[in-house]
Amino acid sequence: MSDVQAFHWRTDQIERIRQVIYQLASAAVEERRLAEETIRQMDPDDLRLLLHLFDYEEPAEMAHRRRVNSWAGVMAYCLGIPPMYLLMWFQGTSLSGWFEIFTLCSAAAYPAWVFWLAWYKGYGFLRSRAIREGIFGAEVRRWPLHPIRVSDALATVDDLALLPVLLRASLSNWCRVSVGRSLKRLLPRLTEADRRYLDEDAWTERCRISLYRISAGHYPELAIAVLKGIQNLHDTRWLSQVRRRTRSRARRLSALRMAAEECLRELEGKGSSLGPDAAKSWRRDH
């Protein structure tokens, strides 16, 4: 909770968000259009506040959730050990076939799986609810939230100043596709002077996910936009990953391969333009 409340949201900000939420829920088309236009022109802090009504996490919140879920995974693993020993004690230590081994492992893993699923879903729901009520108060339970309409409005954002918020929102499942539409327009327009717009943690995570999914052909248009962003920013951290992506020979990934090849030429050209000594150091580091 303290991670979110540390931003000290102002009363007028919360009131603006409440007004946008009720406009989006209105039956009047003009009211909804006005709310969508307001979202497109929002201040980054206001947009972050709006997204906190849904599944949006600040860096400190995400790190905390991952730590807690990691400990829950360890606890779930430990929870599966006692049933295995009990079953082995009842059966005797000799297992006569693969079927018995499979049955034993499945029976032992079942309580661990149930515990992990309950924790993952229950903890996420309760934490999101606590964050919302901590910021907006208990009255947020009566607000007519329409995540699909908010998601549709995010798909039309065309302001580079909102890029840090969009990058972090793209890591959430509820608006990943719609925010991806905005990122496909914004990322190819980046220049090195626009690096100030980036949330480095979210940018790194977005690049990692997109470059990994290139091999599976997931979200190809967003992956191409990410490669364009890497190319325009001369982000040489991803040189080895981009080089590996150029080796794909799948026909359905031809556009991605071409984008990766163009990006690779730009990144390698960046290294060769540094001079012999600097280029040698640059190649060693990358």
Rounded CA separation 286/241 (Å): 10
Rounded CA separation 53/171 (Å): 16
Rounded CA separation 60/67 (Å): 11
Q: Is 57 left (phi over 0), alpha (psi -120 to 50) or beta?
A: beta
Q: pLDDT tens digit string along 80-93?
A: 666 666 666 665 55
Would you state the pLDDT for residue 34?
92
Rounded CA separation 167/169 (Å): 6
**pLDDT of 235 above 80:** yes
Work out the number of other CB atoms within 10 angstroms of the CB of residue 127: 16
Would you state the pLDDT for residue 283?
46
Would you state the pLDDT for residue 278?
41
| C-alpha 142 chain-centroid distance | 28
Q: pLDDT tens digit string along 100-154?
A: 666 666 666 667 777 777 776 676 677 777 778 888 888 888 888 888 888 888 9
Classify residue 250 by its DSSP letter. -
Residue 221: pLDDT band (50, 70, 90) is confident
Query: Which contiguous run of DSSP H or E holds residue 181?
Result: helix 176-186
Sign of CA dihedral 6, 8, 13, 17: positive
Work out the percent of the chain whose per-residue pLDDT is above 90: 7
In this prediction, residues 268-286 reach a mean pLDDT of 51
Work out the number of other CB atoms within 10 angstroms of the CB of residue 196: 9
Average pLDDT, the chain: 77
Q: Which residue has the tokens 């990953």?
A: 241
Write down the pTM of the prediction. Answer: 0.72
DSSP string, 116-179: HHHHHHHHHHHHHHHHHHHHH-GGGGGS---HHHHHHHHTT---GGGHHHHHHHTTSSTTHHHH
How far, CA to CA in Å, does 276 sit from each of 2, 211, 264, 280, 286?
50, 30, 19, 6, 15
Residue 204 or 66, more confident? 204
Would you state the pLDDT for residue 275?
44
Classify residue 93 by its DSSP letter. S
Residue type, 48: R
